[in-house]
Structure 1
């Protein structure tokens, strides 16, 4: 069984040396980074990239993607890795580490590891933030505000289109919770054939009203265009649209599914030493607190909380009022079952 936290091996010593190596600043040295783009990348540039460049002279070139390991795996097989740093969802971080697609990381290099939320440091990666999938609506268009995940599935009370990421992940969990499964029991139910059937049956009730999106930036745009009444979205994207673009968007936190994003260095990265140094820099309390300033994602390091404005804390996934019925995504479940469920999901889409 895959597990995120593993016993450190002797191989860590090799990467530890890289993490502590003083990187020689060269004018031509640039880290090639792949992230999820959009509002998050813009925030990462301010909180992580620009301060690191100022301190070291090392620059960044960025590329956007929507997750997955196909391209990273192809690079490793061809022995031509063009990325130096990669932003990963948790189940991809687990799988990539298990398959040797990521270099080992020395957790001691980032300081006091007890300050981190349990499970946010692995042999190959360090969490960059805590984010959440919520659903959002345009408050100027709904007379009665939705308050629960059940409302998302209620086409009689709230007629209209629903936006969903074109992935079974989170969508399946929401279907079960809306069908009466307690958040704590979701993965126990989803691990059974009957549970998978139950999730698809619930999704059938709104299938004809679903507008699928694939990029995080599309979710708030669907709301802005009036293409959907409600949409699944990353919480930071909705907060960003509301605060920076003055959109009348509101998030519903009931049944939010939270996860971590991870920084890691691909195997064969051409600037591995500089990328390791960057991860150490980005894992410090001030850097985490600065990220929350620019986008509503929470720090995985507890000692960063004191550095965040109290008003901003209320917008974060981990705020007490937002966390009442939160579900942490079971990354091990998805690492083990994603292929099988994805295949059925793709068939379901065509039916």
Structure 2
């Protein structure tokens, strides 16, 4: 009897250690995430990372970047991916998938996907939100309120520096719209050499007044510091400055350039399965709705809309009042033409 009790005790202890060991091993997973940082990363931590950690024990380490696939391509060539999860712009998601740089996504893990917006799921990536490039100004600095994209390019009526992302994307589209091209015709015009020339000629008119930024968090800071009178920015960064930092900024939604943001898992990622489980967790209607509590990015699922506070809906890019003359990024255009136009842009910067 004594021996039996000892054996039972030993078995229970072993089981307990086994369960604890398994839990500890699982908790040891650290998913390496590369994102655009700043307010978006902070919102993602609250809406997605922290709940996932509480549920699974998996932790996250984050690294900021400003897009592009150069480092991912180098990792693939070296067969040594150090990232498990990537925050991708649409053209990068398309190119990365085409080049075999991302793991395939099992759409079954996302449940019933009938309420996703069109094209919000690809073979290799899942849309994380809808965001916009807009411009904003300080209401205490400008005497008159700019209301159109033409005002951004009007140095006579609105003198002063403009802040812009150091990238041709959205800049060339804005230039054409400000030069009289209808949003629906932008990519038809931009798809010709003459159209590209026209865009850069319009950018020439404000080139001497542009202050370039590279990280999203720099945009609202330039405006707050008075370094610029208007700034091109991600709508969520400006909304964050308005509501959290109480800055007297106002967004101009005219000609907003909107797009999906994407989650993708690098090919051969060390924690690929954990990253895929995270994507499924962050892609539920409630998870998408939760993100809008912390930053003004819109959900790519229709079933998320009823879960968002009505007052908050007015801050989102897709709100009817904000969506009067939008332009959706043509991701296929940029996937095909990014290299050539970026090279032209870099040469233009040095001229």
Aligned counterparts of 1:345 and 1:264: Cα–Cα separation in 2: 28
In structure 1, list runs of 5 or more residues that go unmatched. 1-22
Q: What is the aligned partner in structure 1 of residue 73 from structure 2?
A: 73
Matches for 1:74-223 after TM superposition, within 5 Å: 74-223=74-223
User: How far does residue 108 in structure 1 lie from its aligned partner after superposition?
Assistant: 2.0
1:269 aligns with 2:287: no
Aligned counterparts of 1:111 and 1:321: Cα–Cα separation in 2: 32
- CA deviation digits over 1:248-296, x for unaligned, max 9? 0110000000011101110010011111100000000111000001000
Conserved 8 A contact 1:134-1:235: yes
Q: What is the aligned partner in structure 1 of residue 308 from structure 2?
A: 308
Greater Rg over alpha carbons, structure? 2
1:30 aligns with 2:30: yes
User: How far does residue 25 in structure 1 lie from its aligned partner after superposition?
Assistant: 6.0
2:101 match: secondary structure: coil
2:233 match: secondary structure: strand
Aligned counterparts of 2:345 and 2:35: Cα–Cα separation in 1: 25
Q: What is the aligned partner in structure 1 of residue 280 from structure 2?
A: 280
Aligned counterparts of 2:62 and 2:25: Cα–Cα separation in 1: 19
Pick closer, same or farther for the CA change 1:24–1:176 going to 2, 3 Å.
Answer: farther
Conserved 8 A contact 2:27-2:56: no
Q: What is the aligned partner in structure 1 of residue 340 from structure 2?
A: 340
Q: What is the aligned partner in structure 1 of residue 9 from structure 2?
A: none
Normalised to the residue count of structure 1, the TM-score between the two structures is: 0.93
1:163 match: secondary structure: strand
Aligned counterparts of 2:142 and 2:122: Cα–Cα separation in 1: 43
- CA deviation digits over 1:304-351, x for unaligned, max 9? 000000000000000001001000000000000000111111111111
User: How far does residue 239 in structure 1 lie from its aligned partner after superposition?
Assistant: 0.3
Aligned counterparts of 1:162 and 1:83: Cα–Cα separation in 2: 35
Conserved 8 A contact 1:175-1:199: yes
Aligned counterparts of 1:102 and 1:29: Cα–Cα separation in 2: 20
Matches for 1:28-67 after TM superposition, within 5 Å: 28-67=28-67
Pick closer, same or farther for the CA change 1:287–1:25 going to 2, 3 Å.
Answer: farther
Stretches of 4+ aligned residues off by more than 2 angstroms: none
User: How far does residue 238 in structure 1 lie from its aligned partner after superposition?
Assistant: 0.1
Q: What is the number of residues matched between the two proteins?
A: 329
1:95 match: secondary structure: helix
2:342 match: secondary structure: helix
User: How far does residue 143 in structure 1 lie from its aligned partner after superposition?
Assistant: 1.6
User: How far does residue 107 in structure 1 lie from its aligned partner after superposition?
Assistant: 1.4
In structure 2, list runs of 5 or more residues that go unmatched. 1-22
1:133 match: secondary structure: strand
- CA deviation digits over 1:33-82, x for unaligned, max 9? 11000000000000010000001111101111000000111011101101
User: How far does residue 27 in structure 1 lie from its aligned partner after superposition?
Assistant: 2.4
